[in-house]
Protein backbone atom coordinates (compact mmCIF):
# COMPACT_ATOMS: atom_id res chain seq x y z
CA UNK A 1 0.00 0.00 0.00
CA UNK A 2 3.07 2.15 -0.42
CA UNK A 3 2.40 5.77 -1.29
CA UNK A 4 5.92 7.02 -0.92
CA UNK A 5 6.42 8.20 -4.46
CA UNK A 6 3.89 11.01 -4.27
CA UNK A 7 5.57 12.85 -7.12
CA UNK A 8 5.76 10.05 -9.64
CA UNK A 9 2.85 9.71 -12.02
CA UNK A 10 1.81 6.14 -12.50
CA UNK A 11 -0.42 3.99 -14.65
CA UNK A 12 -2.66 1.53 -12.85
CA UNK A 13 -4.08 -1.58 -14.47
CA UNK A 14 -6.81 -3.62 -12.87
CA UNK A 15 -7.32 -7.05 -14.41
CA UNK A 16 -9.84 -9.79 -13.82
CA UNK A 17 -10.31 -13.00 -15.77
CA UNK A 18 -10.69 -16.75 -15.51
CA UNK A 19 -7.65 -18.20 -13.71
CA UNK A 20 -5.25 -19.84 -16.17
CA UNK A 21 -1.53 -20.57 -16.32
CA UNK A 22 0.87 -17.90 -17.52
CA UNK A 23 -1.13 -14.72 -16.87
CA UNK A 24 1.25 -13.22 -14.33
CA UNK A 25 4.20 -14.11 -16.54
CA UNK A 26 2.55 -12.60 -19.64
CA UNK A 27 1.58 -9.33 -17.97
CA UNK A 28 4.91 -8.95 -16.15
CA UNK A 29 6.71 -9.61 -19.37
CA UNK A 30 4.62 -7.03 -21.24
CA UNK A 31 5.67 -4.36 -18.74
CA UNK A 32 9.28 -5.53 -18.63
CA UNK A 33 9.64 -5.54 -22.44
CA UNK A 34 8.32 -1.98 -22.52
CA UNK A 35 10.63 -0.80 -19.74
CA UNK A 36 7.82 -0.27 -17.27
CA UNK A 37 9.14 0.32 -13.75
CA UNK A 38 6.67 -1.54 -11.54
CA UNK A 39 6.08 0.22 -8.22
CA UNK A 40 3.37 -2.08 -6.93
CA UNK A 41 1.92 -5.40 -8.01
CA UNK A 42 -0.58 -7.61 -6.29
CA UNK A 43 -2.83 -10.43 -7.39
CA UNK A 44 -5.45 -12.76 -5.97
CA UNK A 45 -6.71 -16.12 -7.12
CA UNK A 46 -10.17 -17.16 -6.04
CA UNK A 47 -9.51 -20.88 -6.14
CA UNK A 48 -13.09 -21.89 -5.44
CA UNK A 49 -14.48 -19.94 -8.40
CA UNK A 50 -11.43 -20.14 -10.64
CA UNK A 51 -11.05 -16.37 -10.92
CA UNK A 52 -7.90 -14.29 -11.18
CA UNK A 53 -7.49 -10.64 -10.14
CA UNK A 54 -4.49 -8.38 -10.45
CA UNK A 55 -3.52 -4.79 -9.80
CA UNK A 56 -0.26 -3.48 -11.20
CA UNK A 57 1.06 0.07 -10.95
CA UNK A 58 4.06 1.36 -12.88
CA UNK A 59 5.76 4.66 -13.63
CA UNK A 60 4.57 6.48 -16.74
CA UNK A 61 7.90 8.19 -17.19
CA UNK A 62 10.24 5.99 -19.16
CA UNK A 63 7.49 3.59 -20.26
CA UNK A 64 8.01 2.73 -23.93
CA UNK A 65 4.32 2.89 -24.83
CA UNK A 66 2.66 6.34 -24.93
CA UNK A 67 -0.27 6.47 -22.57
CA UNK A 68 -2.92 6.69 -25.27
CA UNK A 69 -1.52 3.60 -26.99
CA UNK A 70 -1.38 1.34 -23.94
CA UNK A 71 -4.86 -0.09 -24.48
CA UNK A 72 -4.04 -1.03 -28.05
CA UNK A 73 -0.74 -2.53 -26.99
CA UNK A 74 -2.52 -4.70 -24.45
CA UNK A 75 -5.11 -5.92 -26.95
CA UNK A 76 -3.34 -9.19 -27.88
CA UNK A 77 -3.13 -10.21 -24.22
CA UNK A 78 -6.71 -9.19 -23.64
CA UNK A 79 -7.80 -11.40 -26.48
CA UNK A 80 -5.56 -14.35 -25.64
CA UNK A 81 -6.59 -14.54 -21.97
CA UNK A 82 -10.05 -12.94 -22.23
CA UNK A 83 -9.09 -10.22 -19.75
CA UNK A 84 -11.32 -7.53 -18.26
CA UNK A 85 -9.04 -4.53 -17.99
CA UNK A 86 -9.42 -1.13 -16.40
CA UNK A 87 -6.61 1.36 -17.01
CA UNK A 88 -6.21 4.64 -15.16
CA UNK A 89 -3.58 7.24 -14.42
CA UNK A 90 -2.66 8.72 -11.07
CA UNK A 91 -2.48 12.25 -12.46
CA UNK A 92 -6.08 12.24 -13.61
CA UNK A 93 -8.02 13.21 -10.53
CA UNK A 94 -11.40 11.53 -9.98
CA UNK A 95 -14.41 13.82 -9.76
CA UNK A 96 -16.60 13.12 -6.75
CA UNK A 97 -20.11 14.13 -5.71
CA UNK A 98 -21.04 14.13 -2.02
CA UNK A 99 -24.60 13.28 -1.01
CA UNK A 100 -25.52 14.41 2.49
CA UNK A 101 -28.55 15.01 4.71
CA UNK A 102 -28.22 16.16 8.31
CA UNK A 103 -25.16 14.54 9.88
CA UNK A 104 -22.04 16.63 9.42
CA UNK A 105 -19.22 14.40 10.64
CA UNK A 106 -18.54 12.32 7.51
CA UNK A 107 -18.65 15.27 5.13
CA UNK A 108 -16.29 17.32 7.33
CA UNK A 109 -13.93 14.39 7.55
CA UNK A 110 -13.89 13.85 3.78
CA UNK A 111 -13.39 17.54 3.06
CA UNK A 112 -10.58 17.85 5.60
CA UNK A 113 -8.79 14.87 4.06
CA UNK A 114 -9.34 16.44 0.66
CA UNK A 115 -7.93 19.73 1.89
CA UNK A 116 -4.85 18.06 3.36
CA UNK A 117 -4.14 16.30 0.08
CA UNK A 118 -4.78 12.83 1.43
CA UNK A 119 -7.82 12.17 -0.76
CA UNK A 120 -6.86 13.06 -4.33
CA UNK A 121 -10.22 14.03 -5.77
CA UNK A 122 -12.19 17.02 -7.00
CA UNK A 123 -15.54 17.80 -5.42
CA UNK A 124 -17.49 19.94 -7.88
CA UNK A 125 -20.83 19.56 -6.11
CA UNK A 126 -22.68 18.53 -2.99
CA UNK A 127 -26.26 17.25 -3.22
CA UNK A 128 -28.65 17.14 -0.30
CA UNK A 129 -32.31 16.36 0.29
CA UNK A 130 -32.30 18.91 3.12
CA UNK A 131 -30.93 22.38 3.66
CA UNK A 132 -29.40 21.77 7.10
CA UNK A 133 -25.79 21.45 5.97
CA UNK A 134 -25.70 24.14 3.28
CA UNK A 135 -23.31 26.16 5.43
CA UNK A 136 -20.64 23.47 5.09
CA UNK A 137 -20.80 23.64 1.31
CA UNK A 138 -20.60 27.43 1.54
CA UNK A 139 -17.59 27.30 3.83
CA UNK A 140 -15.72 25.13 1.35
CA UNK A 141 -17.12 27.09 -1.64
CA UNK A 142 -18.63 23.99 -3.20
CA UNK A 143 -21.89 24.36 -5.15
CA UNK A 144 -24.75 23.01 -3.05
CA UNK A 145 -27.84 21.53 -4.68
CA UNK A 146 -30.88 21.17 -2.50
CA UNK A 147 -33.11 18.49 -3.98
CA UNK A 148 -35.80 17.55 -1.45
CA UNK A 149 -37.24 14.08 -1.96
CA UNK A 150 -40.79 12.91 -1.43
CA UNK A 151 -42.45 9.68 -2.43
CA UNK A 152 -44.03 11.51 -5.30
CA UNK A 153 -41.02 13.30 -6.74
CA UNK A 154 -38.32 10.70 -6.06
CA UNK A 155 -37.80 9.52 -9.65
CA UNK A 156 -37.99 13.03 -11.00
CA UNK A 157 -35.43 14.28 -8.50
CA UNK A 158 -33.10 11.37 -9.18
CA UNK A 159 -33.27 12.24 -12.87
CA UNK A 160 -32.26 15.79 -11.97
CA UNK A 161 -29.44 14.37 -9.81
CA UNK A 162 -28.18 12.19 -12.63
CA UNK A 163 -28.27 15.18 -14.95
CA UNK A 164 -26.15 17.17 -12.51
CA UNK A 165 -23.75 14.25 -12.11
CA UNK A 166 -23.35 13.93 -15.86
CA UNK A 167 -22.86 17.66 -16.34
CA UNK A 168 -20.13 17.57 -13.74
CA UNK A 169 -18.57 14.42 -15.19
CA UNK A 170 -18.76 12.66 -11.86
CA UNK A 171 -16.75 9.44 -11.45
CA UNK A 172 -17.73 8.57 -7.90
CA UNK A 173 -20.69 9.28 -5.61
CA UNK A 174 -20.17 9.19 -1.86
CA UNK A 175 -23.23 8.85 0.32
CA UNK A 176 -21.87 10.58 3.42
CA UNK A 177 -24.80 9.71 5.68
CA UNK A 178 -27.35 10.45 2.93
CA UNK A 179 -30.67 9.41 4.40
CA UNK A 180 -32.47 8.33 1.22
CA UNK A 181 -32.66 4.98 -0.52
CA UNK A 182 -31.50 5.18 -4.13
CA UNK A 183 -33.73 3.76 -6.82
CA UNK A 184 -32.44 1.34 -9.49
CA UNK A 185 -32.33 4.34 -11.81
CA UNK A 186 -29.35 5.67 -9.91
CA UNK A 187 -27.66 2.41 -8.93
CA UNK A 188 -27.71 1.20 -12.53
CA UNK A 189 -26.33 4.49 -13.80
CA UNK A 190 -23.29 4.25 -11.51
CA UNK A 191 -22.50 0.56 -10.94
CA UNK A 192 -19.69 0.07 -8.39
CA UNK A 193 -19.28 3.81 -8.32
CA UNK A 194 -21.50 4.70 -5.37
CA UNK A 195 -20.00 4.24 -1.90
CA UNK A 196 -22.21 4.26 1.18
CA UNK A 197 -21.49 4.21 4.90
CA UNK A 198 -23.97 2.18 6.93
CA UNK A 199 -23.89 2.65 10.68
CA UNK A 200 -23.85 -1.00 11.68
CA UNK A 201 -21.76 -4.10 11.23
CA UNK A 202 -23.60 -5.50 8.22
CA UNK A 203 -25.33 -7.88 7.76
CA UNK A 204 -26.40 -7.14 11.35
CA UNK A 205 -28.95 -4.34 11.64
CA UNK A 206 -29.68 -3.41 8.02
CA UNK A 207 -32.22 -0.72 7.26
CA UNK A 208 -33.17 2.26 9.35
CA UNK A 209 -32.11 3.13 12.91
CA UNK A 210 -29.42 0.49 13.36
CA UNK A 211 -28.08 2.06 16.58
CA UNK A 212 -31.53 1.73 18.11
CA UNK A 213 -31.73 -1.91 17.07
CA UNK A 214 -28.23 -2.58 18.35
CA UNK A 215 -29.07 -0.97 21.68
CA UNK A 216 -32.22 -3.01 21.99
CA UNK A 217 -30.34 -6.25 21.24
CA UNK A 218 -27.74 -5.43 23.87
CA UNK A 219 -24.64 -5.86 21.70
CA UNK A 220 -21.22 -5.17 23.19
CA UNK A 221 -19.71 -3.69 20.00
CA UNK A 222 -21.20 -1.30 17.46
CA UNK A 223 -19.97 -1.30 13.90
CA UNK A 224 -19.87 0.57 10.62
CA UNK A 225 -19.75 -0.79 7.09
CA UNK A 226 -18.75 0.94 3.87
CA UNK A 227 -19.98 -0.75 0.71
CA UNK A 228 -20.79 -0.24 -2.93
CA UNK A 229 -24.45 0.50 -3.41
CA UNK A 230 -26.48 -1.98 -5.40
CA UNK A 231 -30.17 -2.32 -6.04
CA UNK A 232 -30.56 -4.44 -2.92
CA UNK A 233 -30.47 -2.18 0.11
CA UNK A 234 -27.46 -2.77 2.37
CA UNK A 235 -26.50 -5.85 0.37
CA UNK A 236 -23.76 -4.42 -1.85
CA UNK A 237 -20.09 -5.53 -1.83
CA UNK A 238 -18.37 -4.55 1.43
CA UNK A 239 -15.20 -2.46 1.14
CA UNK A 240 -14.35 -1.80 4.79
CA UNK A 241 -15.74 -2.43 8.27
CA UNK A 242 -14.92 -1.45 11.82
CA UNK A 243 -16.26 -1.80 15.35
CA UNK A 244 -16.00 0.00 18.67
CA UNK A 245 -16.93 -1.28 22.16
CA UNK A 246 -20.11 -0.27 23.98
CA UNK A 247 -21.65 -1.39 27.24
CA UNK A 248 -24.95 -1.62 29.10
CA UNK A 249 -24.31 1.86 30.49
CA UNK A 250 -24.38 3.44 27.04
CA UNK A 251 -27.66 4.94 25.91
CA UNK A 252 -28.68 5.07 22.26
CA UNK A 253 -27.21 8.58 22.23
CA UNK A 254 -23.89 7.17 23.38
CA UNK A 255 -24.02 4.52 20.66
CA UNK A 256 -24.51 7.30 18.11
CA UNK A 257 -21.64 9.36 19.53
CA UNK A 258 -19.24 6.44 19.71
CA UNK A 259 -20.22 5.34 16.23
CA UNK A 260 -19.46 8.70 14.60
CA UNK A 261 -15.66 8.36 14.71
CA UNK A 262 -16.04 4.85 13.39
CA UNK A 263 -18.23 5.92 10.47
CA UNK A 264 -15.72 8.61 9.50
CA UNK A 265 -12.81 6.24 9.69
CA UNK A 266 -14.43 3.38 7.79
CA UNK A 267 -15.85 5.62 5.06
CA UNK A 268 -12.62 7.51 4.45
CA UNK A 269 -10.69 4.24 4.26
CA UNK A 270 -13.11 2.90 1.65
CA UNK A 271 -12.97 6.12 -0.36
CA UNK A 272 -9.16 6.18 -0.27
CA UNK A 273 -9.07 2.60 -1.54
CA UNK A 274 -11.47 3.38 -4.39
CA UNK A 275 -9.71 6.60 -5.42
CA UNK A 276 -6.42 4.72 -5.56
CA UNK A 277 -8.00 1.99 -7.67
CA UNK A 278 -7.39 -0.61 -5.01
CA UNK A 279 -10.81 -2.26 -5.20
CA UNK A 280 -12.28 -4.78 -7.61
CA UNK A 281 -15.74 -6.27 -7.41
CA UNK A 282 -15.91 -10.06 -7.62
CA UNK A 283 -19.56 -11.09 -7.91
CA UNK A 284 -20.87 -9.58 -4.63
CA UNK A 285 -17.54 -9.36 -2.82
CA UNK A 286 -14.65 -6.96 -3.11
CA UNK A 287 -11.03 -7.74 -3.71
CA UNK A 288 -9.16 -5.03 -1.82
CA UNK A 289 -5.54 -4.56 -2.83
CA UNK A 290 -4.72 -2.89 0.49
Using omega within 30 degrees of 0 as the cis cutoff, is the peptide bond preceding 146 cis? Answer: no
Q: Please list every residue from 108 through 137 that binds a second copy, using CB under 8 A.
A: 108-109, 111-113, 115-116, 118
Q: Please list every residue from 226 through 255 that binds a second copy, using CB under 8 A.
A: 237-243, 245, 247-254
- Whether 234 sits among the annotated catalytic residues: the reply is yes
Longest CA span, the chain: 63
Nearer to a second copy, 165 or 259 (CB): 259
Catalytic member of 234, 250, 254, 282 = 234
Nearer to a second copy, 55 or 170 (CB): 55
Cα–Cα distance, 225 to 197 (Å, whole number): 6
Instruction: Give me the least distance between CB of 252 and a second copy, in Å please.
Output: 7
Q: How does 66-95 read in b/e, with b if 16+ C-beta sit within 10 Å?
A: eeeebeeebeebeeebebebeebebeeebb
C-alpha angle with apex 290: 286 to 220, nearest 5 degrees? 75
Length of the chain, in residues? 290
Instruction: Give me the least distance between CB of 153 and a second copy, in Å please.
Output: 28
Under rule CB under 8 A, residue 285 binds a second copy:
yes
Instruction: Give me the least distance between CB of 210 and a second copy, in Å please.
Output: 11
Under rule CB under 8 A, residue 217 binds a second copy:
yes
| 120: DSSP letter | -
- What is the total count of residues that contact a second copy (CB under 8 A)? 83
Query: What mask of x and - would describe binding to a second copy in positions 144 to 173, judged by CB under 8 A?
Result: ------------------------------
Nearest to residue 56, comparing CAs of 75, 29, 80?
A: 29
Amino acid sequence: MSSLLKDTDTAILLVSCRDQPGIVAALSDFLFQNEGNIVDIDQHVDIENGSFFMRVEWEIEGFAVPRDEITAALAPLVEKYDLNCSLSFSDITPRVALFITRDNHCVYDLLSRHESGELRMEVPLIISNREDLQSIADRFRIPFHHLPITKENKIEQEKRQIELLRENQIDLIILARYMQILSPLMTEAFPNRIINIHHSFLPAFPGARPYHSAHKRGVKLVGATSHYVTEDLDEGPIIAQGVTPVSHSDSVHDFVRKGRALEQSVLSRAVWLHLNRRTLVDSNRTVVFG
